[in-house]
Structure 1
Amino acid sequence: MKKKILVATGGGDCPGLNAVIRAIVKRADLEPDYEVYGSIEAYNGVLMDPQEIIRLDDQAVAGIHIRGGTIIGTTNKGGPFNWPVEQPDGSWVGIDRSDEMIQMLKDQGFHAVISIGGDGSQRISKQLFDKGLNVVGVPKTIDNDLSATDMTFGFQTAVQVATEGVDKLVTTAESHNRVIIMEVMGRDAGWIALHAAVAGGSEVCLIPEIPYDINKVVERIEKRYEERRGFAIVVVAEGAKPKGGTVVGQASKEVGYENVRLGGIGYRLKEELTQAGLKASMRVTVLGHLQRGGIPIAFDRVLAAGFGVHAFEMVKQGKFGQMVAYKHNDIIDVPLEEAVKDYNYCTEDAFVMRTARGMGISLGD
């Protein structure tokens, strides 16, 4: 009897997800004792009635490594520990269906689960492993905020999109003598913003790890102007905030979605700059989900493929409760407990932070 592996992609979509799925299937094809299946929209495919689980064979994954998104869908709503159930009064409550789901998978003959996802998904992986499910994690996030791995696939593609955004904004800012504020993703980490600022040559980069002084930002921008001429690009991470202030975001009204929706700092920053006396003409660009979509760059495809192959080999070797990681230009595995222990913030000793400061980019402090 063949050993069945279930693959799930959870959380936000990310360039390279399909490359991981394809690599898992391609590696499994070399082993006659294994079959790979996919759960539609993370674990929701297992819990839905009827279930949404599909066979992933060589034909199903042919050519998908160049496509963004994920062929098995993803979600950051619901899940085995917080399945939304509507009450008679129209309200919703989350219930724990983890034991039920684990039993379903065992009854259906699944040997192991490969969970591809970020911090939240891997925390779920750890909980499921603690309850007896054979789980292997694969780190996925454009935010690069998992500390157990030097890099997550999708990050470099997001940085490429953001850098191209800076490149395009430079020409229009220069033509109109404007300040253009570009807001990028990253949640509580400034990696995308910092890399794009260094690569694109922005004057100011504001990140969550360093609350900014608006007067310092004004001072830096004004240095770019001589009389009435000049321009400047400001890259700001969605989780950035002023000294003594808070992030811009709002609670989600979507059922089953628990995260605060960040976004809007670019427009607030524009107002703060105006109130602080900056006279320059200003515009705001929010890249948003452009950073998540599209074709993954070669680096992310290679990293994703390496993760997928290693994840299968971890299953074969029985290394459950572990997550694939990229460390010192090698692919290894680390305990899930270690993988979710610390958040990967930008620190002063990070080379990109030192580089930004060394190039005179203002971080608002």
Structure 2
Amino acid sequence: MKKIAVLTSGGDAPGMNAAFRAVVRKSIYEGIEVYGVYQGYQGLVNDNIKKLELGDVGDIIQRGGTKLYSARCPEFIEPDVRQEGIDNLKKRGIDSLVVIGGDGSYRGAQRLNEEGIKTIGVPGTIDNDINGTDFTIGFDTALNTVVDAVDRIRDTATSHERTFIIEVMGRDAGDLALWAGVAGGAETILIPEASSDIKSVAERIETGMNRGKKHSIIIVAEGVMSASECGGELRKYINVDTRESVLGHMQRGGKPTGNDRVLASRLGAYAVELLLEGVSGHAVGIENNSLSKTSFDKVFEEHHKIDEGLFRLSKELSI
């Protein structure tokens, strides 16, 4: 392998730049030419590919977002469209690609691998919903962003004696809501992986009010329902003054935490190492603080699972 390309795809996540930087610098350290693909798979098809030098990734490890940009490319599912991207790589002599992104990005990488471009996936998503890794790049930063918001909202909830419903991202996964709920001391956490009985939530709030509790924090994952829907359902069972907050895309932004920078650096460099060893069609990850690799087929085998012990603990501590 003499030439390698790297792209970021899907929703941006804090730490993507750190992973991108690691791929570039590890490649150059190993004597490999490295190319950046701008605007994800759309850029691959549009031939928006540039050879990179060390200085191109200077001063980015601390920056959120992705310097390579990201764009939707639903047509990449079509074989003839993918072939355009493959041809753009091959005309430069590039036969290997590192894809930094989430589940959808991995599926594109898997197809490219089957069609002759050796690929490795690096998990970059705040949702923490990728099999084969305990944590994804961006999750820790997003978690801290949500916890900071919860802390601030609790001040207002306490002052005005209200119940606040906070909607967080996560797509169909509840990790961000669960971890933020435990860290922020939320009274109720609603996640897609567990049934949501709003009536029992109302009863718990009422029990708290009867013992003198004047405010509550409910964290709801977007995969369950919206904050406004949750508030409407809650008011069917209890007369409570609620306010809804949707944190939205602020969860994706901001400088990555130290944990995300280190994780991204380790995974980006490891992706290059695997390609040098002749391994492809895999995603890298971190399991029990050790680097790991998982075939794309296995990554897609089953839905990501939450930490059930942590979910039980959230209920025990929010009595």
- With normalisation by structure 2, the TM-score equals 0.95
Q: In the TM superposition, what is the alpha-carbon distance from 1:55 to its structure 2 partner?
A: 2.5
Q: Distance in 2 between matches of 1:108 and 1:320?
A: 20
Q: Quote the residue 1:65 is aligned against.
A: 61
Letter in 2 for 1:297: T
1:354 matches 2:312: yes
Q: String of CA shifts for 1:319-361, please: whole Å, max 9, x gaps.
A: 111111111111122212112222213253xx32132133136
Q: Distance in 1 between matches of 2:123 and 2:170?
A: 15
Name whichever of 294-303 and 227-236 sits farther off: 227-236
Alignment match of 1:151 (pick from 130, 135, 160): 135
Q: Quote the residue 1:259 is aligned against.
A: none
Alpha-carbon contact 1:12-1:76 (below 8 Å) kept: no
- With normalisation by structure 1, the TM-score equals 0.83
RMSD across aligned C-alpha pairs, in angstroms? 1.7
1:77 matches 2:73: yes
3-state DSSP of counterpart to 1:65? coil
Q: In the TM superposition, what is the alpha-carbon distance from 1:201 to its structure 2 partner?
A: 0.4
3-state DSSP of counterpart to 1:38? strand
Letter in 1 for 2:34: V
Alpha-carbon contact 2:138-2:260 (below 8 Å) kept: yes
Q: Distance in 1 between matches of 2:246 and 2:221?
A: 10
Q: In the TM superposition, what is the alpha-carbon distance from 1:110 to its structure 2 partner?
A: 0.5
Q: In the TM superposition, what is the alpha-carbon distance from 1:175 to its structure 2 partner?
A: 0.3
% of aligned pairs identical?
40
Q: Distance in 1 between matches of 2:250 and 2:280?
A: 35
Q: Quote the residue 2:51 is aligned against.
A: 55
Q: Distance in 2 between matches of 1:127 and 1:329?
A: 29
Q: Quote the residue 2:276 is aligned against.
A: 316
Q: Quote the residue 1:110 is aligned against.
A: 94
3-state DSSP of counterpart to 1:64? coil
Q: In the TM superposition, what is the alpha-carbon distance from 1:223 to its structure 2 partner?
A: 2.2
Q: Do the aligned partners of residues 358 and 96 (structure 1) sit closer, same or farther apart at CA in structure 2, a change above 3 Å counting?
A: farther
Q: Distance in 1 between matches of 2:301 and 2:130?
A: 9
Q: Provide structure 2 residue ranges, at least 5 long, that are not aligned to the other structure.
A: none
Letter in 2 for 1:24: V
1:43 matches 2:27: no
Q: In the TM superposition, what is the alpha-carbon distance from 1:196 to its structure 2 partner?
A: 0.6
Q: Distance in 1 between matches of 2:190 and 2:74?
A: 33
3-state DSSP of counterpart to 1:225? helix
Q: In the TM superposition, what is the alpha-carbon distance from 1:133 to its structure 2 partner?
A: 1.4
3-state DSSP of counterpart to 1:60? helix
More helix by share: 2
Mapping for residues 258-273 of structure 1, pairs under 5 Å: 265-273=226-234
Q: Distance in 2 between matches of 1:356 and 1:12?
A: 28
Alpha-carbon contact 1:203-1:234 (below 8 Å) kept: yes
Q: Distance in 2 between matches of 1:9 and 1:181?
A: 33
Q: Quote the residue 2:147 is aligned against.
A: 163
Letter in 1 for 2:23: I
Q: In the TM superposition, what is the alpha-carbon distance from 1:29 to its structure 2 partner?
A: 2.4
Q: Quote the residue 2:304 is aligned against.
A: 344
Alpha-carbon contact 1:115-1:135 (below 8 Å) kept: yes
Mapping for residues 278-289 of structure 1, pairs under 5 Å: 278-289=238-249
Q: Distance in 2 between matches of 1:111 and 1:18?
A: 22
Q: String of CA shifts for 1:12-55, please: whole Å, max 9, x gaps.
A: 000000000111112122123x111111111211211xx21122
1:123 matches 2:107: yes
Aligned residues: 319
Alignment match of 2:165 (pick from 159, 181, 205): 181
Q: String of CA shifts for 1:222-276, please: whole Å, max 9, x gaps.
A: 1222488600000000011xxxxxxx5xxxxxxxxxxxxxxxx100111111122
Q: Distance in 2 between matches of 1:226 and 1:69?
A: 46
Q: Quote the residue 1:256 is aligned against.
A: none
Q: Distance in 2 between matches of 1:78 and 1:64?
A: 29
